Amino acid sequence: MRKQLLTCVALFFTLCLYAQDRVVTGTVKDNGSALPGATVLLKGTSKGTATDADGNFSLSVPSDGTLVFNFLGFRSQEIVVGNQSVINVTLDPDEQQLAEVLVVGYGTQAKKEFTGAATRIKASDVQDIPVQSFDQALIGRAAGVQISLPNGVLNNAPVIRVRGVNSISQSSYPLFVIDGIPVTAGDNLGTTTVTNNPLADINPSDIESIDVLKDAASTSIYGSRGANGVILVTTKRGKEGKAKVTYDGWVGWTKAVRLPDLLGAEQYMEIKNEARRNAGQADAFFPSYNADGSLVDTKWYDYMFQTAVSHNHALSISGGSAKTSYFFSTNFSRQEGFLVSNEFDRQGMRFNVDHELNKWVKLKAGINYTNSENRAPNSGSLDGNAQGIIGAARMAYTLSPNVPAYNADGTPALNMADANATIGNGANTVVSVYYNPLTLFPLFKNKSMNDRILANGGVTLTPLKGFTFTTNYSIDRLRVDNVSSAAPLPGSSGYSTKGSVSNITGIINNTDFSNTLQYETRLGEHHITALVGSDVQKFSTDQWGANVQQAADTYFTSYQGTWGQISSTGNVLTSKSFLSYFGRFNYDFGSRYFLTINYRKDGNSSLGAARKWGDFGGVSGGWTISEEGFYKDLTLANTLTSLKLRASWGRVGNGNLGPYASLNLYASGLNGAAPALGISQAGNADLGWETGDQTNIGVDLGLFNDRVQVDFSYFNNDVSGLILGVPQSASKGIPNNSIVANIGSLYNRGIELAISGEVLKKSKFSWNASFNITTLKNRVTSLATEGSRLVSNSSGNPFNMTEVGYSVGTLFGAVTNGVNPANGRRIYINKEGKEVQYSLVVPAGDFQWSYLDGSRAAAITAADYQPLGNALPTWYGGFSNTFKYGNFDLALNFTYSGGNYVLNGNTGTWLDQRYFNNSEKVLNRWQNPGDITDVPRLVYGDNFASANIPNISAYIEKADFIRLQNIMAGYRLPSPVLSKLGVNSARLYVQATNVFLITGYSGVDPESSINGNRNTSPGVEYNSLGNGRTITVGVNVGL
């Protein structure tokens, strides 16, 4: 679009031409292809022209003149005309200049005039990364923005935190605005089994740039939606010139990494029978033999994990005339996860058009349709699934290796005595509750499918000089179909009910109508821009569904079969709105002094009746010292080419509330056949805004002719009026034992440093590097009452707590002090600080819980739990490098984070003393008096000392890591080859993600989060899948 504007400007100049001197012609190109709309100016005059659709120009100039060639995004070039009559120019891309325009709320701003905190991420950084949604590819790219993948299941919403956790119970997910449309994002729209990240409906190849707004001065124009930062995505649009066609495609392979080493069959039987004997029980684990007489030693990993194959294709056609431009793209993606039967498909199309009706009316419109579908077995990795018996990760770790996968006749080994025909037990006398993955995966299917239309249309009017009126209407209409189907066959979790199929369909509708009026003027060195506007957003969810059971025939696995029983499920009918008025005033003087003031008034239907309106806003200022006359005379100016100080303060809100959070509500149900009513939500009529006061002080430096750029910011975000589900004593009988209230405050403080630039450039070789680091201190400063502690559960377990003086979601549990060498019992420290030891089974006269002197002690309960470590990283960042040599390029992107702890709950599973298989760590168990070890004496059935309650200090580990997130090597085909092929450009590359991880963490992945984005329960890994490693080969072609 910018190209177009320039074209207009250029055309204007053309009209003013006088015939004079002689005519020079030529072509302007960018490294091969023609550049239409490039300006050609006679230096020192307003005389000039623009190149036509083929990049050609023709201009009358005096022979002593100098021509200046300009094109946005390219370095300008000056050429003395002399006696040349044909001047062909090739412009070099200027990446720095590209970065110099930022997309801000309801408009754009030159970076040099910008005084807030924002980071731009270029499309080229993310487009070839093999992910399902572009947000997953932003890892490590922007200072202050921490992104991690909670597990390796396809299409997870990543955990995104812009400058820390800015809320406790509300979402900390940033607002995503795509081409001006605030879209549905961050929620998991799938089921408890299959994920659905709505951002996956955006084709990563369609993205032109991503701007992350981080401080209140930038985000307060979004008022109550800006508390967690705003991520503005700009998609590609057509440019004037003949049609350009691009194709991007890749094919990739993914494998699971860092899986624990489990016991083989013989070790398993030895360990488990030892535990049985220690518990005074008979052996229960016995060998099974294959037909050839060999011992059954099943590697269950082989039946659950795979080398996944994925491929992705994107095709675009774009172009335009002077007045009208268009962009069309289509994409197709089919991806597999390393977990068997985890699959993701997407197909979509995007079309947009810009049209200049006349000098003062411009129209733009766009539509994007996407159909995506994610299919997954229960991975056990999603919120609340850690202890399910159908969770794949837990199954993979725990299934008995001495049990055969198949019967002698080749059918899957099942326990037909169980109503669901769970996994067979081989020769073991213990019955397993788990399923055989050979039947469970094919017979229990879950899918979540989206049909998404993102459409917007807008008009821009410039009725009077300086005035711009823009109106925009957008629709984000998303239909989600969630289907969960358990077949009525043995070995399916739905066998006992003769099948169970749930279909839930929903429409999530989100419309936005915004109007802005902007006035811009320059009076000498004064530059004023003022904007006022209004915005109305409506959200509605209309979802319904049914569950069927009792199949008439075992053939049926879909709702449309014949079933004996049907009941409704998944019904949701809600709506909420935001109503907003806002304004912005920008002033700068002489490109040296900058001031921006933002204001927004927001109404939110979710809040208490008298508290619906909130006032938000910010002020920021900047001083570009390097533009001052005195500075330019300093010798420092030779090194420190540019220097800008900036500071901002602002207030934002967090309006991500449930639609009826303030109300006392009663839900209807049935008691038998009679209608029943019961309280379903204890609301709070006084519920008001959660607000953040954010301060940002920064400096932007440009060194060595701006070859190196340094951005430094200090930020302090004080959040008050935190909306919390205040836990209520369970004896009050309030639904979910919780009532929302504004009862706390916290802060996030830290610094961000980003350094980027050209490290080396020698003829064909160049090395560009970009480094960023953020430090973060998160502290809760007040909660409802003095000393109150909010305990948050993961799958029902109190793994985290939030308390004044600690960071949000601090790890929580029992303090342990190793294993008593005398008897192999784990030692706990109770709340009085006394050492207490535990054994499930004890001889007569002894006690399960005893002091070390053998006298009876009270059991360790949650009342004895203590804070065990901060779960939020205190430093994180990324380091990316791009090397180029001739036609070769190589990029490396490292990410790192640390200063936090993670609960390695897997250890609990890996040492569980039921019939679960264990990791090799169990071999270090205590066996004889005097043994010094961290694995207690094995006691069969022990659910506490080592296993099912894993939140003990012994399992808390440091989470520091460095990961090579991506490595990519590419080769651009040289022009002679290209011309033979008839293509403009072509690049081949090989890429790998999650290449290696350097960490002391002994679990699967230090970035795991079994609770996804939930703020209050970070840093827990428990029976979940880590991230896989993906290698892709791909091609980018321009035609």
Residues 309-348 that bind another protein (CB under 8 A): none
User: Hey, what are 440's tokens?
Assistant: 């469970």
User: Hey, what are 174's tokens?
Assistant: 């940033």
Query: CB neighbours of 236 closer than 8 A, spacing ≥ 6?
Result: 123, 206, 207, 208, 316, 318, 327, 329
Please state the closest distance from residue 523 (CB atom) to another protein, in A: 20
Q: CB under 8 A: which stretch of 130-138, 146-154, 789-797, 986-994 binds another protein?
A: 789-797
- Residue tagged 């099974």 (tokens): 288
Work out whether 829 is an interface residue with another protein (CB under 8 A). no
Residues 938-967 that bind another protein (CB under 8 A): 941, 943-944, 948-949
Question: Which residue in the set 672, 930, 976, 982 belongs to the binding site for another protein (CB under 8 A)?
Answer: 672
Please state the closest distance from residue 424 (CB atom) to another protein, in A: 11
Work out whether 610 is an interface residue with another protein (CB under 8 A). no
Cα gap 521→607, rounded to integer Å: 40
Work out whether 486 is an interface residue with another protein (CB under 8 A). no
Residues 143-172 that bind another protein (CB under 8 A): none
User: Hey, what are 425's tokens?
Assistant: 């037990």
CA count, 13 A, side-chain hemisphere, 337: 27
Question: Which residue in the set 914, 921, 958, 987 belongs to the binding site for another protein (CB under 8 A)?
Answer: 914
Looking at the Cβ atoms of 516 and 768, the one nearer to another protein is 516
CA count, 13 A, side-chain hemisphere, 368: 30
Work out whether 978 is an interface residue with another protein (CB under 8 A). no
Q: CB under 8 A: which stretch of 149-157, 225-233, 677-685, 918-926 binds another protein?
A: 677-685
Looking at the Cβ atoms of 81 and 390, the one nearer to another protein is 390
Looking at the Cβ atoms of 761 and 856, the one nearer to another protein is 856
Residues 679-698 that bind another protein (CB under 8 A): 679-684
Work out whether 509 is an interface residue with another protein (CB under 8 A). no
Instruction: Number of residues interacting with another protein: please give it, by CB under 8 A.
Output: 113
Query: CB neighbours of 905 closer than 8 A, spacing ≥ 6?
Result: 386, 799, 950, 951, 955, 1010, 1020, 1021, 1022, 1023
Nearest to 936 by CA among 834, 822, 814, 1021: 822
Please state the closest distance from residue 430 (CB atom) to another protein, in A: 5
Q: Give the SS3 label for residue 507.
A: strand
Looking at the Cβ atoms of 613 and 971, the one nearer to another protein is 613
Question: Which residue in the set 87, 118, 597, 840 belongs to the binding site for another protein (CB under 8 A)?
Answer: 840
Work out whether 357 is an interface residue with another protein (CB under 8 A). no
Question: Which residue in the set 19, 86, 523, 730 belongs to the binding site for another protein (CB under 8 A)?
Answer: 730
Question: Which residue in the set 739, 746, 754, 968 belongs to the binding site for another protein (CB under 8 A)?
Answer: 739
Please state the closest distance from residue 802 (CB atom) to another protein, in A: 12
Please state the closest distance from residue 9 (CB atom) to another protein, in A: 20
Work out whether 593 is an interface residue with another protein (CB under 8 A). no
Residues 380-409 that bind another protein (CB under 8 A): 389
Work out whether 569 is an interface residue with another protein (CB under 8 A). no
155 DSSP 8-state letter: T
Please state the closest distance from residue 645 (CB atom) to another protein, in A: 35
Q: CB under 8 A: which stretch of 274-282, 347-355, 377-385, 701-709 binds another protein?
A: 274-282
Q: Beta strands of 322-390 (E only): which ranges? A: 324-336, 343-358, 361-375
Work out whether 734 is an interface residue with another protein (CB under 8 A). yes
Question: How many Å is the Cα radius of gyration of the chain?
Answer: 32
Query: Do 221 and 114 form a contact (C-beta atoms < 8 A)?
Result: no
Residues 203-262 that bind another protein (CB under 8 A): none
User: 825-841: b or e for each residue (b if 16 or more CB lie within 10 Å)?
Assistant: bbbbbbeeeebbbbbbe
Question: Which residue in the set 46, 560, 671, 763 belongs to the binding site for another protein (CB under 8 A)?
Answer: 671
Please state the closest distance from residue 707 (CB atom) to another protein, in A: 45
Residues 790-809 that bind another protein (CB under 8 A): 791, 796-798
Please state the closest distance from residue 925 (CB atom) to another protein, in A: 20
Query: Do 504 and 479 form a contact (C-beta atoms < 8 A)?
Result: no
Work out whether 789 is an interface residue with another protein (CB under 8 A). yes
User: Hey, what are 927's tokens?
Assistant: 């066996």
Question: Which residue in the set 70, 109, 497, 774 belongs to the binding site for another protein (CB under 8 A)?
Answer: 497
Question: Which residue in the set 53, 532, 988, 990 belongs to the binding site for another protein (CB under 8 A)?
Answer: 532
CA count, 13 A, side-chain hemisphere, 193: 23
Question: Which residue in the set 182, 190, 380, 727 belongs to the binding site for another protein (CB under 8 A)?
Answer: 727
Question: Which residue in the set 247, 328, 332, 360 belongs to the binding site for another protein (CB under 8 A)?
Answer: 360
Question: Which residue in the set 289, 666, 704, 885 belongs to the binding site for another protein (CB under 8 A)?
Answer: 666
CA count, 13 A, side-chain hemisphere, 8: 14
In which region does residue 908 sit, left (phi positive, over 0), alpha (psi from -120 to 50) or beta (all else)?
alpha
Looking at the Cβ atoms of 840 and 997, the one nearer to another protein is 840
Neighbours of 633 (CB within 10 A): 9
Question: Which residue in the set 80, 357, 552, 858 belongs to the binding site for another protein (CB under 8 A)?
Answer: 858
- Residue tagged 């030891």 (tokens): 837
Question: Which residue in the set 16, 86, 291, 674 belongs to the binding site for another protein (CB under 8 A)?
Answer: 674
Residues 94-153 that bind another protein (CB under 8 A): none
DSSP line for 552-574: SSTT--STTS-EEEEEE---EEE
Looking at the Cβ atoms of 29 and 789, the one nearer to another protein is 789
Residues 549-568 that bind another protein (CB under 8 A): 549-550, 565, 567
Please state the closest distance from residue 296 (CB atom) to another protein, in A: 17
Beta partners for residue 450, in sequence order:
372, 480
Site track 449-468 with another protein (rule: CB under 8 A), x = hit: ------------x-xx--x-
Query: Do 160 and 96 form a contact (C-beta atoms < 8 A)?
Result: no
The CA-based angle 112-114-116, given to 5 degrees, is 140
User: 888-918: b or e for each residue (b if 16 or more CB lie within 10 Å)?
Assistant: ebbbbbbbbbbbbbbbbbbbbbbbbbbbbbb
Please state the closest distance from residue 680 (CB atom) to another protein, in A: 6
Q: CB under 8 A: which stretch of 175-183, 378-386, 622-630, 729-737 binds another protein?
A: 729-737
Looking at the Cβ atoms of 382 and 607, the one nearer to another protein is 607
Nearest to 259 by CA among 214, 304, 225: 304
Q: What is the dihedral of CA 147, 149, 150, 154, to 10 degrees?
A: 140
Work out whether 351 is an interface residue with another protein (CB under 8 A). no
DSSP line for 644-655: EEEEEEEEEEE-
Work out whether 570 is an interface residue with another protein (CB under 8 A). no
Cα gap 535→584, rounded to integer Å: 14
Please state the closest distance from residue 814 (CB atom) to another protein, in A: 10
Cα gap 266→273, rounded to integer Å: 11
**N- to C-terminal Cα distance for the chain?**
21
Residues 980-1009 that bind another protein (CB under 8 A): none
Q: CB under 8 A: which stretch of 43-51, 296-304, 340-348, 490-498 binds another protein?
A: 490-498
Query: CB neighbours of 609 closer than 8 A, spacing ≥ 6?
Result: 662, 685
Please state the closest distance from residue 134 (CB atom) to another protein, in A: 31
- Could you give the residue ranges of the DSSP H alpha helices within 508-614? none
Cα gap 431→29, rounded to integer Å: 73
Cα gap 545→547, rounded to integer Å: 7
Looking at the Cβ atoms of 218 and 493, the one nearer to another protein is 493
Looking at the Cβ atoms of 672 and 833, the one nearer to another protein is 672
Cα gap 444→378, rounded to integer Å: 9
